[in-house]
């Protein structure tokens, strides 16, 4: 044990085996003075960095590699090794800075009622004890404004959610020890929702494992060694242990796993209804929210676009996840907000292009007179559709192809060669480009469950009417008039004025016959396009 550092897990007996994680990193608390009077004097808050401006978050999160001329002149093998560092690059666009500031604010709000020097903290422990004695995750009377401290981040796969969250977490010490108080503090606890979405044991194991990774001499995972473990009690113990260890926020990654999406899309291609979705939803997410309410620990759910339908299908969950920095990350747009500002896609790619390990790096955009050549912008957007993970990997593979070919700089042929490694990603790129019904149904992690319901909605056959009557419209109207008169005549009993007399002839004005003779019914007004189409939709051929 460390001198003066208590064991986080009093149930652990060192005689039973070697001390686990003896070298876990932690820092001793160094306090600043908080400006906000409502938070001043709270050790959990004053041991954390102060809230920053959006521009400061961008500066702190930026991870850009400075490639020197010496590096560009290294051997092929050395440059290929250096290219692997591109995976560590972090380019904090405005949406990243907004998320970082929102998380920082919520972290402070969660600790607001958890001042370890206050009477409120003692009451919190009393409530936890009462809930434990009752055998429930929430005890009677567990209502507090902290129950509103929850947010969500949904996004397409490859948008960088998990990577960005880990980088935001790195702005804070992973573990802080308050020596005077004898208390531990873990600002963020990152856990992953079990894949099957129902296993309380798996979730409890994830929590204990992460606590053991962060804390020295803890060995909480030994709670899982019972011969017949009670899943609910173990998860209850895991969440309460997180509270006692001063967890500031629980970040639940892959939260769309809280229900099994794959079972809803079976081979019979049955229509998906919201009722079926709710029946398949498990109570694990609700249980986590209840537990965070008890401990006043803010909770953040992150996941693919399938997560959105989970959060919005119930009014209570949708209300809780609204505001407070909740966001949905779509692929980066290549459309600029104004003529003077570049698009998100171009900002990202222009920074990437500064990191080239070729002797003669190329410019992202070139200008000839007043014309700007956006060849690289168009090529990379065509093959990535603005998915950041694909953008970085394709840029990396393009450089690898150029280095292997002995080239001094990258060109289109190297990008085309690199595309051979991206066949598995082609359905993603094509789905984002087409956004047709087949893509909406097959790629729920890209478009969400609601997209399936849109795709399965019968398409109305509407006719757009214009102010000017065309020849095609005249022909349609005349044909409709003839059909009505013929039908009416057939349904009317025949009236004979004299033996052998037939039905009265249909009366059509001569001028109408003339217009019909010259009309081309192929020029009639076309049907309205599918409601799934959009300005971004592209023709299949």
pTM assigned to the model? 0.73
Per-residue pLDDT at 114: 86
- pLDDT, tens digit (0-9, with 9 covering 90-100), for 307-319: 766 555 444 454 4
d(CA 48, CA 44): 7
Residue found under tokens 């998915």: 387
Per-residue pLDDT at 491: 57
Indicate whether 371 pLDDT > 90: no
Where along the chain do its domains lie?
14-61+93-329, 344-455
What phi, psi does 47 have (nearest 5°)?
-90, -5
Of 98-112, 273-287, 527-541, the least confident:
527-541
What phi, psi does 12 have (nearest 5°)?
-85, 130
Instruction: Count the neighbouring beta carbons within 10 Å of the beta carbon of residue 201.
Output: 16
Per-residue pLDDT at 306: 74
- pLDDT, tens digit (0-9, with 9 covering 90-100), for 265-308: 443 344 444 444 444 445 566 667 766 666 678 888 888 877 76
- pLDDT, tens digit (0-9, with 9 covering 90-100), for 395-428: 999 999 999 999 999 999 999 999 999 988 888 8
CA 220 to chain centre: 31
Angle formed at CA 390 by CA 386 and CA 396, multiple of 5 degrees: 125
Per-residue pLDDT at 200: 79
CA 69 to chain centre: 38
Q: Which residue in 306, 331, 299, 253 sits closest to 93, CA to CA?
A: 331
Angle formed at CA 274 by CA 270 and CA 280, multiple of 5 degrees: 80
Portion of the chain with pLDDT greater than 90, in percent: 36
- Diameter over CA atoms, the chain: 124
Q: Judge residue 346's burial from the number of C-beta atoms within 10 Å of its C-beta, 0-12 exposed, 13-18 middle, 19 or more buried.
A: buried
- pLDDT, tens digit (0-9, with 9 covering 90-100), for 212-266: 999 987 888 888 876 667 777 888 888 888 988 999 999 988 766 655 444 444 4
Kindly tell me the number of DSSP H helices and DSSP E strands found in the chain: 23, 10
Per-residue pLDDT at 129: 61
Indicate whether 450 pLDDT > 50: yes
Please tell me the class of the 14-61+93-329 domain.
Answer: alpha beta
Q: Judge residue 439's burial from the number of C-beta atoms within 10 Å of its C-beta, 0-12 exposed, 13-18 middle, 19 or more buried.
A: buried
The DSSP-derived string for 150-200 is EEEEEE-TTS-HHHHHHHHHTTS-S-EEETTTTEEE-SEEEEE--TTS--H
Q: What would the mean pLDDT of 432-453 be, rounded to a whole number? A: 64
Output b/e per residue, 385-418; b: 16+ Cβ within 10 A.
Answer: bbbbbbbbbbbbbbbbbbbeeebeebeeebbebb
Q: Binning pLDDT at 50, 70 and 90, where does residue 122 land?
A: low
Per-residue pLDDT at 376: 95
CB 345 within 8 A of CB 194: no
Indicate whether 139 pLDDT > 60: no
The DSSP-derived string for 292-304 is HHHHT--EEEEE-
Per-residue pLDDT at 151: 87
């Amino acid at each position: 044990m460390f001198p003066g550092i208590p064991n986080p897990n009093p149930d652990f007996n060192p005689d039973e085996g070697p001390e686990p994680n003896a070298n876990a990193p932690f820092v001793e608390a160094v306090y600043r003075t908080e400006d906000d009077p409502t938070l001043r004097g709270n050790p959990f808050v004053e041991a954390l960095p102060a809230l920053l401006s959006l521009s400061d978050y961008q500066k702190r999160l930026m991870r850009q590699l400075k490639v020197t001329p010496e590096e560009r002149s290294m051997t092929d093998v050395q440059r290929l090794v250096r290219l692997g560092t591109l995976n560590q690059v972090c380019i904090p666009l405005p949406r990243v800075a907004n998320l970082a500031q929102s998380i920082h604010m919520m972290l402070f709000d969660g600790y607001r009622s958890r001042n370890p020097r206050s009477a409120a903290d003692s009451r919190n422990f009393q409530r936890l004890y009462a809930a434990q004695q009752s055998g429930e995750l929430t005890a009677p009377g567990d209502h507090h404004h902290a129950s509103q401290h929850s947010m969500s981040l949904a996004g397409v796969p490859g948008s960088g959610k998990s990577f960005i969250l880990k980088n935001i977490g790195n702005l804070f010490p992973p573990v802080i020890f308050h020596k005077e108080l004898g208390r531990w503090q873990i600002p963020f606890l990152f856990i992953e929702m079990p894949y099957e979405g129902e296993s309380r044991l798996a979730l409890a194991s994830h929590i204990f494992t992460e606590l053991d990774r962060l804390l020295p001499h803890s060995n909480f995972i030994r709670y899982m060694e019972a011969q017949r473990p009670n899943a609910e009690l173990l998860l209850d113990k895991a969440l309460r242990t997180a509270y006692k260890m001063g967890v500031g926020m629980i970040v639940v990654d892959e939260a769309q796993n809280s229900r099994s999406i794959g079972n809803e899309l079976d081979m019979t291609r049955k229509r998906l209804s919201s009722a079926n979705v709710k029946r398949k939803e498990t109570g694990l997410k609700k249980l986590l929210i209840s537990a965070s309410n008890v401990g006043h620990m803010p909770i953040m759910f992150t996941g693919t676009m399938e997560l959105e339908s989970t959060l919005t299908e119930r009014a209570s969950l949708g209300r809780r996840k609204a505001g407070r920095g909740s966001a949905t990350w779509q692929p980066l747009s290549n459309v600029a907000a104004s003529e003077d500002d570049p698009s998100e896609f171009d900002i990202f790619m222009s920074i990437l292009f500064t990191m080239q390990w070729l002797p003669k790096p190329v410019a992202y955009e070139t200008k000839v007179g007043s014309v700007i050549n956006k060849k690289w912008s168009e090529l990379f957007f065509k093959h990535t559709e603005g998915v950041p993970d694909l953008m970085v990997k394709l840029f990396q593979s393009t450089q690898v192809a150029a280095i292997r070919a002995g080239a001094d700089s990258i060109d289109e042929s190297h990008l085309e060669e690199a595309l051979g490694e991206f066949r598995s990603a082609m359905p993603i790129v094509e789905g984002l480009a087409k956004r047709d019904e087949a893509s909406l149904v097959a790629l729920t992690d890209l478009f969400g469950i609601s997209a399936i319901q849109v795709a399965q909605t019968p398409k109305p056959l509407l006719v757009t009417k214009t102010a000017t009557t065309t020849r095609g419209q005249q022909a349609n109207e005349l044909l409709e008039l003839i059909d009505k008169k013929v039908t009416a005549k057939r349904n009317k009993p025949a009236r004979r004025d004299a033996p052998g007399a037939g039905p009265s002839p249909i009366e059509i004005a001569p001028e109408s016959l003339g217009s019909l003779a010259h009309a081309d019914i192929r020029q009639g007004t076309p049907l309205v396009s599918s409601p799934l189409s959009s300005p971004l939709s592209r023709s299949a051929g």
